[in-house]
Amino acid sequence: MNFKRGSHDEELEINFIPLIDVLLVIIIFLIVSATFSRTSELQINLPTADANAPQEKPLTITIEVDANGRYLVNGKEANGAVVSDLSAALLEAGKAGPADKEPTIIINADAKATHQSVVNIMEAARTANYTHITFATQVNSH
């Protein structure tokens, strides 16, 4: 029984034309972007050259001193905190490298180490006739 007189139900239909338009735009975008990626690739053959032999890495001697005044020379504990003992340890560590090249002394001192302990290392390096001295630091974290 149809109680509604005069009303006609229209059939529902799906309009595919906007869907086709959107799909065509997507396909065109993919084709254009794929074309650009192919043209950006370059086939490069690098030229060859005779290079010099790599230079030898310079000899470094690392001296560490902690807040308590303990010394480590290349990871080995120094026998004493006296300048002569440190100088002997530096000379022993310097024998590992070539005799004609002077090693670089890297001082890793704790922030709480005394000033005197760092001066002792510098004096020991001077006694051992090593003039290349540098200090290791770390990047400030804030």
Answer for the pair 130, 106: CB distance below 8 angstroms, yes or no: no
- The whole-number pLDDT of residue 13 equals 82
Q: 77 by DSSP, 3-state: which? A: strand
Q: Which residues of 81-101 are buried (b: 16+ CB within 10 A; e: fewer)?
A: eebebbbbbbeebbeebeeee
- The whole-number pLDDT of residue 37 equals 52
Tokens of 46: 């690098």
Q: pTM score > 0.85 for this model?
A: no
Write out the chain's pLDDT in tens, 142 residues.
556 666 666 777 888 899 999 999 999 988 887 766 555 555 656 666 666 666 667 788 889 888 888 888 888 888 777 888 888 888 888 887 776 788 889 988 888 888 888 899 999 999 988 888 988 877 776 6
- The whole-number pLDDT of residue 14 equals 83
- The whole-number pLDDT of residue 24 equals 95
